[in-house]
């Protein structure tokens, strides 16, 4: 009897090795090789048969390749993609205008963030007008039904493939079907027989392909299961939502090829102690990337937030020193965000720096510019900067707002709450231009802002808002503190 042998497969890139290494030879990631058992050849007869098959394949003449002729863009027939709405405007915005039939959407997020809740609410809306299949690989049908009842969803056909073949049914929503199953072949058969317009796989790490010896969630299982689902979805024109787990670093677990196979990659995120949830697109073949959808978690599920600027904008009636308002752009959506800064004398040899919602290295760069170009002794002061609501602001257009908030906290001065600040800060202390300026100013005007401190040299639209162009950080700080002094005099 032949002995079984093992190989070590990298969980990051999928490369295999006959022995264990602490560092993957292919992608150079540490501690990612996992042992997998390779099925042995059970007898000499099987071995001889395998050798004969290989030798016969070698002797067999290769089939002649099929002739393929290249076409120009003008020769290819137009086939406009007909999108349909998901029932949620925030999701349609992130997807680029709606759901594309036959597309694959991968949704990742931390445990308990609300991925299953979001998808259950989406399929409830879609099932009102088309057939939908929800594959719950991590829960039983009864567990999903309990959540559905809490959300006000009444699933109809719970397809329990047990020995009796019986299943539960309800007449409230006849086009929403549940399938508690982890076997890929059973799921593919159900998709092929039911032929739904939309299907949900929750989650891809729980599925397994019986032909593979590796455990569910491994690189081989995730890759093969996703490839099989993709082929069937493209053939039958099924819109497929796939839920993926995330690692402790925040990336989607599994091989990187998983993100390359799908058409759209979405991240569902949110703060632990906040009710709002953010849906971001990091890849989209049918729309713009880095789009943002905002939801709010309620006792009855997720609710859309049509105007997220009001959520991330602080109370403008009670102004405190060290606050500044910026307009950040997430994809094509402008969001007005309030920044708060606190500068205080340090009690330690090295001052503390802390950020919430902002990039830490970006803050260090802005503090260095303020100390070098303006002479503010920040090397002897602690600096804390946070965005209102915990929104992650990563674009450089927030630099000028951070610099003014820090300077206002150092001087203990106010900044006019009806003034928005937009601009990127260079290492030489200059204020650089940013993109989508007209979109930002229109959003600020819609929320009642009267002034805007912006980079000098950009073309500005004819809007009913006072424009204060600046070319240096020092000029921007003087203009912001001057407007704040007028507010103090009025109060």
Q: Which of 279, 306, 333 is the last residue of a domain?
A: 306
Would you place residue 156 in the very low, low, confident or very high pLDDT band (cuts 50, 70, 90)?
Answer: very low
CATH code for position 190:
3.40.50.300
Q: What is the DSSP letter of 379?
A: G
| Ramachandran angles phi, psi of 146, nearest 5° | -65, -45
> Are residue 155 and residue 294 in the same domain, yes or no?
yes
Q: Note the pLDDT tens digit of each residue in 18-40.
A: 888 888 888 888 887 877 766 55
pLDDT at residue number 168: 40
Residue 39 pLDDT: 55
The pTM of the full predicted model, rounded to 2 decimals, is: 0.76
Give the tokens for residue 368: 């260095």
Share of the chain above pLDDT 70, in %: 84
d(CA 429, CA 373): 6
Query: Is 58 among the domain residues?
Result: no
Q: Is residue 425 part of a domain?
A: yes
What pLDDT, in 10s, does the model give residues 372-423?
A: 999 999 999 999 999 987 788 988 999 999 999 999 999 999 999 999 999 9
Question: Does residue 294 form part of some domain?
Answer: yes
Q: What mean pLDDT is predicted for residues 460-483? A: 90
- CA 352 to CA 346: how far, in whole Å? 7
Name the residue with higher pLDDT: 167 or 214.
214
For residue 122, is it within any domain? yes
Q: Does residue 485 form part of some domain?
A: yes
Of 214 and 333, which is predicted with more confidence?
333
Q: What average pLDDT does this structure show over 208-222?
A: 83
Q: Residue 63: inside a domain, yes or no? A: no
Highest mean pLDDT among 22-26, 79-83, 439-443: 439-443
Q: Are residues 302 and 328 in the same domain?
A: no
pLDDT value, residue 95: 93
- Domain boundaries, position 332: 310-490
Residue 44 has pLDDT above 70, yes or no: no
Residues 6+ apart with CB under 8 A from 286: 81, 95, 96, 100, 103, 263, 264
384 and 430 inside one domain:
yes
In this model, does residue 267 exceed pLDDT 60?
yes
**405-428 residues labelled b (16+ CB within 10 A) or e (exposed):** bbbbbbeebbbbbbbbbbbbbbee
Domain assignment present for residue 73? The answer is: no
Give me the pLDDT at residue 141, please.
87
**181 in the same domain as 271:** yes
State how many domains the chain has. Answer: 3
Average pLDDT on 34-60 reads: 49
Question: Where residue 240 falls among pLDDT bands split at 50, 70, 90?
Answer: very high
- How many beta carbons lie within 10 A of that of residue 205, not counting itself? 20
**What was the pLDDT predicted at 167?**
38
Q: Do 278 and 394 fall into the same domain?
A: no
Q: Report the chain's mean pLDDT, rounded to a whole number.
A: 84
Q: Would the pLDDT of 60 be above 70?
A: no
Task: Kindly tell me if the per-residue pLDDT of 306 is higher than 80.
Answer: yes
């Amino acid at each position: 009897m032949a002995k079984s042998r093992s190989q070590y497969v990298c969980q990051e890139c999928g490369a295999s090795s006959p022995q264990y290494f602490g560092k993957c030879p292919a992608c150079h990631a540490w501690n990612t090789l996992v042992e997998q058992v390779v099925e042995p050849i059970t007898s000499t007869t099987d071995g001889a048969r395998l050798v004969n098959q290989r030798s016969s394949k070698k002797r067999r003449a290769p089939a002649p390749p099929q002739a393929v002729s290249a076409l120009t863009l003008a020769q290819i027939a137009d086939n406009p993609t007909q999108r349909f709405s998901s029932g949620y405007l925030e999701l349609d915005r992130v997807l680029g205008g709606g759901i594309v039939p036959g597309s694959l959407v991968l949704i990742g997020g931390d445990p308990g963030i609300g991925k299953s809740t979001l998808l259950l609410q989406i399929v409830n809306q879609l099932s009102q007008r088309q057939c939908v299949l929800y594959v719950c690989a991590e829960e039983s049908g009864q567990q999903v039904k309990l959540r559905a009842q809490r959300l006000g969803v009444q699933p109809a056909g719970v397809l329990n493939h047990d020995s009796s073949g019986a299943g539960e049914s309800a007449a409230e929503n006849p086009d929403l079907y549940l399938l508690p199953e982890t076997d890929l072949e059973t799921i593919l058969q159900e998709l092929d027989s039911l032929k739904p317009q939309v299907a949900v796989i929750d989650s891809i790490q729980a599925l397994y392909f019986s032909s593979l010896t590796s455990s569910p969630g491994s690189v081989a299982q995730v890759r093969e299961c996703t490839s099989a689902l993709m082929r069937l979805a493209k053939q039958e024109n099924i819109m497929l939502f796939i839920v993926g787990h995330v690692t402790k670093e925040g990336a989607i677990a599994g091989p990187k090829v998983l993100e390359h196979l799908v058409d759209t990659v979405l991240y569902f995120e949110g703060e632990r102690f906040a009710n709002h949830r953010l849906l971001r697109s990091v890849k989209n073949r049918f729309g713009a990337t880095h789009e943002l959808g905002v939801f709010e978690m309620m006792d009855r599920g997720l609710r859309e937030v049509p105007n997220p600027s009001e959520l991330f904008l602080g109370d403008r009636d009670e102004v405190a020193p060290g606050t500044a308002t910026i307009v950040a752009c997430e994809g094509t959506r402008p969001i007005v965000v309030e920044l708060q800064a606190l500068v205080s004398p340090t009690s330690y040899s090295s001052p503390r720096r802390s950020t919430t919602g902002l990039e830490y290295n970006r803050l260090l760069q802005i503090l260095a510019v303020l100390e070098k170009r303006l002479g503010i002794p920040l090397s002897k002061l602690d600096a804390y900067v946070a965005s209102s609501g915990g929104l992650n602001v990563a674009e450089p257009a927030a630099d000028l707002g951070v610099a003014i908030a820090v300077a206002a906290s150092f001087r203990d001065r106010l900044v006019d709450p009806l003034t928005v600040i937009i601009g990127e800060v260079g290492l030489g202390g200059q204020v650089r231009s940013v993109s989508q300026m007209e979109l930002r100013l229109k959003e600020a005007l819609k929320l009642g802002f009267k002034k805007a401190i912006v980079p000098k040299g950009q073309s500005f639209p004819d809007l009913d808002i006072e424009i204060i162009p600046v070319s240096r950080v020092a000029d921007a700080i003087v203009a912001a503190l001057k407007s704040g002094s007028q507010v103090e005099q009025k109060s």
